[in-house]
């Protein structure tokens, strides 16, 4: 997969940046651009991407470990979110190992780390993950159905591969969580996906709605034209005319607590906290 993408090596001046995300003090992103090419990705608007179609070019921060090494000598200890904008275990990581080298440094300085990825490549670094005094790995899932996954996240690993990775991490004593998002209206089967996730016993699941930041509406409608054009009107109702949908999803999740995933803590951005 990496061969079809254009890779460019770049140099950066800083490594850690302050993070506003809950529970994180710093953000660290070894790559700009992401070969997973998810149709709903809002990273381009976060980093003001102006280098063509998202997914076609990946910039590798080739000197990041060296810069991080210097920063870790002086920065106050805090939780580092690894992959807050782009995926730290996307295909380029197989060759470049920037994420791995950053993890080695963070472990050496005993910084707590929270990784977010869609890739089972994280298992490659199990030896390293096990040496941290505090680390957790979050894996993203948007559908239980791999046919849907291929359309939503064409460059990312299969659903089963991600579930296996969650299981393997947990068996090795690594804390795991699932980012279940974005919930795509009428596409993500929320109950079925929660049941599948419950089987691999993460510490918790964070459910998120689709966030239509700049430029994403066009990507989503292009996707819907191919997936099911009848859904375009429904998405228009929900996102352009502020129609109801996600409130019903929350109700569904609450009601489903009686079923298989009753012991699974489910949090959402919208109601912040565990759904009772
Ligand atoms: S894995 Fe994350 S960063 Fe990469 S394309 Fe998908 S949503 Fe964007």
* Placement of tokens 């998202």 in the chain: 54
Averaged over 252-273, what is the pLDDT?
75
Please tell me the distance between residue 156's alpha carbon and the centre of ligand 1 in angstroms: 8
Enumerate residues 6+ apart whose C-beta is below 8 A from 98.
30, 31, 60, 61, 62, 64, 65
Give pLDDT, residue 257: 73
Residue 116: exposure state from Cβ atoms within 10 A (0-12, 13-18, ≥19): buried
Enumerate residues 6+ apart whose C-beta is below 8 A from 89.
83, 99, 117, 118, 119, 121, 122
Give pLDDT, residue 263: 84
Residue nearest to atom 6 of ligand 1 (CA): 38
User: pLDDT for 176-232, tens place per residue?
Assistant: 999 999 999 999 999 999 999 999 999 999 999 998 877 889 999 999 999 999 999
Which atom of ligand 1 has the smallest separation from the CA of 54? 5
Which atom of ligand 1 has the smallest separation from the CA of 86? 3
Rounded to whole angstroms, the Cα distance separating 150 from 159 reads 9
Q: Which has the higher per-residue pLDDT, 262 or 115? A: 115
Rounded to whole angstroms, the Cα distance separating 34 from 153 reads 11
Please tell me the distance between residue 148's alpha carbon and the centre of ligand 1 in angstroms: 16
Please tell me the distance between residue 223's alpha carbon and the centre of ligand 1 in angstroms: 16
Rounded to whole angstroms, the Cα distance separating 19 from 23 reads 9
DSSP 8-state class, residue 77: P
Please tell me the distance between residue 258's alpha carbon and the centre of ligand 1 in angstroms: 33
The CATH homologous superfamily to which domain 4-267 belongs is Aldolase class I (3.20.20.70)
Question: Cβ < 6 Å from ligand 1: which residues?
Answer: 34, 36-38, 41, 43, 86-87, 118, 153, 156
Give pLDDT, residue 103: 98
- Domain range list for the chain: 4-267
Q: Which has the higher per-residue pLDDT, 266 or 108? A: 108
Give pLDDT, residue 276: 39
Q: What is the DSSP string of 171-205?
A: HTT-EEEEEEEEE-TTTS-HHHHHHHHHTT--SEE
According to DSSP, the β-strands at 31-32 and 57-61 are antiparallel
Give pLDDT, residue 4: 58
Mutate to test the pocket of ligand 1, among 86, 157, 158, 184 (most ligand atoms within 8 A of CB): 86
Helix (H/G/I), strand (E/B), else coil: 253: helix
Averaged over 28-53, what is the pLDDT?
95
DSSP 8-state class, residue 94: H
Please tell me the distance between residue 255's alpha carbon and the centre of ligand 1 in angstroms: 31
Mean residue pLDDT across the chain = 93
Rounded to whole angstroms, the Cα distance separating 246 from 185 reads 8
Please tell me the distance between residue 105's alpha carbon and the centre of ligand 1 in angstroms: 25
Say whether pLDDT at 269 is over 80.
no
Q: How many Å is the maximal CA-CA distance in the chain?
A: 56
Distances (CA, A) of 201 to 98, 164, 167, 175, 215: 29, 11, 8, 10, 35
Residue nearest to atom 8 of ligand 1 (CA): 41
* Placement of tokens 């976060």 in the chain: 46
Residue nearest to atom 7 of ligand 1 (CA): 41
Please tell me the distance between residue 224's alpha carbon and the centre of ligand 1 in angstroms: 18
Closest to 118 measured CA to CA, from 160, 168, 81, 56: 160
């Amino acid at each position: 997969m990496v061969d079809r993408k254009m890779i460019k090596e770049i140099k950066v001046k800083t490594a850690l940046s302050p993070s506003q995300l809950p529970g994180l003090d710093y953000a660290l992103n070894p790559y700009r651009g992401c070969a997973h090419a998810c149709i709903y990705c809002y990273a381009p608007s976060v980093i003001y991407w102006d280098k063509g179609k998202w997914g076609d070019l990946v910039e590798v921060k080739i000197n990041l470990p060296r810069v991080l090494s210097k920063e870790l000598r002086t920065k106050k200890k805090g939780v580092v979110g690894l992959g807050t904008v782009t995926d730290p275990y996307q295909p380029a990581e197989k060759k470049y190992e920037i994420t791995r080298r950053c993890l080695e440094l963070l472990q050496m300085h005993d910084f707590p780390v929270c990784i977010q990825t869609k890739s089972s490549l994280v298992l490659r670094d199990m030896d390293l993950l096990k040496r941290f005094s505090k680390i957790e790995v979050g894996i993203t899932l948007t559908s239980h159905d791999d046919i849907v996954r291929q359309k939503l996240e064409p460059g990312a690993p299969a659903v089963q591969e991600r579930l296996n990775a969650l299981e393997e991490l947990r068996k090795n004593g690594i804390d795991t969580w699932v980012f279940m998002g974005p919930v795509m209206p009428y596409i993500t089967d929320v109950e079925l996906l929660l049941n599948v996730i419950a089987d691999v016993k993460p510490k918790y699941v964070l459910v998120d709605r689709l966030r239509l930041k700049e430029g994403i509406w066009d990507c989503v409608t292009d996707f819907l034209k191919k997936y099911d054009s009848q859904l375009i009107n429904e998405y228009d109702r929900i996102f352009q005319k502020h129609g109801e949908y996600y409130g019903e999803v929350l109700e569904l999740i609450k009601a489903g607590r009686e079923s298989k995933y009753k012991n699974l803590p489910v949090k959402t951005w919208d109601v912040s906290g565990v759904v009772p």
